[in-house]
Chain A
Amino acid sequence: MVPTLIGRIQTRLFLLATVGVVMTLLIMPIVPGTDAPLGDLYVTGLLVLAAVGILGIGWELIYHLLMQFRWEKDWPTSFGLLTLVPEGLLLYFLLRSGAIGFIDPIPSSTFWTHFTVVWVSMWLVANGPMRVPFIRWRFRGGRVL
């Protein structure tokens, strides 16, 4: 899928709300580095997803701007995976510094396991299986609506 700006944002929010939520429910019982009650972990995990969504709108604006320097106005598959690094780091430091007050502090191994699993799953789904139920999605720049 080659995204448009609105398509990027919609796809991100849609995948967070579906794949992200499912993966959070699956992974939280087994994440390392914490002995917090599962209920608390779920709350934290879902809040992290929300933060990825909200910060993501800003990120997508930046990606869209960068994409303009590419003649093809495309976004190679690997970029969708590698953006995990800057996005993860920013979120991690924001959490660490307490800038996102509504999320309790998370041990780093817990954060990175959850974040990476969710990110890679979303990336895999966006690069194929997403097209199975939504046959028009890839021709519309990633718009879900």
Chain B
Amino acid sequence: MAAPRKPAEAGDLTPELLGTPQWTDQMVAAAGIPMYDVPFLTVGGGIGSFVTLDYLRIYGVPTGQMKVVSNIDHPWQTYEFLTRCSQIPRPERIRSDSSSRPDNIWGFPSYGLEEAWKEKNPIYLWQLLTEPILNDYWTPRAGTVFANLEREAKRIRYWDMLVKGQVRMVRKRAGGGYFTVVTPPEGAAPTKRIVFRSRFVHLAIGYPGLKFLPDLQEFRTKYSDYQHVVNAYEPHEQVYEFLKTRPGTVVIRGGGIVASRVLQRLFDDREKYGLKTQIIHIFRTFITGSHGPHIWARRKGGDGWAYQGFNYPKSVWGGQLKAQMRKLEGAERAAKYKEMGGTNTPKRRRWQEQMRAGRAGGYYHAVQGTVDRVEPTPDGRLVSYVRSSDGIIREPVADYIIDCTGLEADIAEHRVFADLLQYGGAYRNPVGRLEVERHFEVKGTASGDGALYASGSATLGGYFPGVDTFLGLQIAAQEIADDLAGRGFVRKMGPLRSTSQWFKWVFNSPV
């Protein structure tokens, strides 16, 4: 029996609003949704929103002119959750380099100088000087990143701008600008929704969602077992705890940095607690050495992995590849992405040692293969049916499977993007994500004198490839801030203001 149709309560979205791409002020008022004005609004409240607000505050925008709508309390919350799950607790080191500092738009002094100074450790300086030739890249501790973000958030008065809530959609406004519909937390507002009316909106909502490998997803739903087949981005301490109680076997899937981290944890625990853990590592693409089309485009690799310091070649954040990509369109751009893409991990000396020891000791087995399906064994373990390209079929049995492929879901799985694609005029780029301009305005969404921007992983495939990184988010923020300056929202920052603001950062005085 169908539920009786409830009339929309006052203060909620009406069918008329839902079906109309462009709203008028009267339509919103008629629905009884309270409306607030703010010239600039950023949605998400993660690292992307934070660095954008940081830039604009430093350029000179007062807190009263900007709001951030988010479902988290502090900007590093989601990042900290994901890094902790994927085995980077606060004392461990993250992937990005010393001068990728989301709390400092200048990237100077770098994290390396700061840690060297605070810990009185000149070895860090030697590592910075010799990276990546004689040493691994120096990278900061996760804890250093969080502590500094907190300091900067206080300095720019981040929490004065924060509005807690879930953004449902952004729609164009007749006459220019946008309406952002927010569902505030239970009891925080008298109505179910509130609306912000703004000239500029920025979307930085991070990953649209996690996606599992299809065979693992099938297993999880079919046997409703969410304990033994896990994604590395969800909490999975039970795996490591189980292995401490008795010898076990773990299957790892994927060849990226998360697989490296999980391996390190397994090897570390093996050493620390004298465990007997067996590890079977399945690579879909097994890389055996240097690879690439010609001598000028060859990446190092071996033992299954493709090796690269960061998630893209270093010059995408400012050098030659950044300059090249900026000029490419359509198929050419997609081809360039393909050429430098592919899963990869840094070649860290410690990881290499651990894997060497594992191979020699017969407890780490790396194989190429695709998995057809996963089934439970009668004794409650998991068997994977793995087919290699050479035709060999393997059927490894394991206690746990850790999916480290980190596949990102399609952008349309996020409601805000789905709505934007359907009603906002946005469309997809050559790699299927949101097409943005060089200054990160979402193409097709202009509304009068307003502009809608986006940054982060949803914009991968654009004129700038390194989007889903601290430095990439800062590059986007700078482009956005300069574009806003061009539109008269703030004055473009020149060398003098930049220098004086830098001193304020150094002395931790308000912007």
Contacts and interface: CB of A to CB of B under 8 A. Distances in A.
A86 interface: no
B110 A140 contact: no
A10 B379 CA distance: 68
A132 B296 CA distance: 33
A139 B292 contact: no
A71 B300 contact: yes
Interface stretch (B15-23, B62-70, B100-108, B191-199): B100-108
Which among B297, B320, B495, B498 has the greatest number of chain A C-beta atoms within 10 A?
Answer: B320
A139 B131 CA distance: 20
B110 to A, nearest CB: 7
A12 B323 CA distance: 19
Contacts, number: 91
A132 B108 contact: yes
A145 to B, nearest CB: 13
Nearest to B482: A136
Interface in B107-124: 107-110, 113
B128 A71 contact: no
A124 to B, nearest CB: 11
A69 B320 CA distance: 13
Nearest to A76: B133
Interface stretch (A1-9, A25-33, A107-115): A1-9
B422 interface: no
Interface string B421-450: 000000000000000000000000000000
B315 interface: yes
In which size bucket is the chain A interface? 20 to 34
A129 B495 CA distance: 12
B499 A2 contact: no
Contacts of A7: 319
A7 B320 CA distance: 10
B320 A135 contact: no
A68 interface: yes
A116 B502 CA distance: 29
Given A2-B318, A4-B320, A141-B323, A136 B107 contact: no
Interface in A123-143: 128-129, 131-136, 138-141
Interface stretch (B152-160, B306-314, B328-336): B306-314
29 contacts: A1-B318, A2-B320, A4-B319, A5-B320, A7-B319, A68-B296, A69-B295, A71-B299, A72-B309, A73-B313, A73-B315, A74-B314, A74-B315, A75-B319, A77-B131, A78-B133, A81-B129, A128-B109, A128-B110, A128-B113, A129-B108, A132-B108, A132-B498, A132-B499, A134-B495, A136-B478, A140-B318, A141-B320, A141-B323
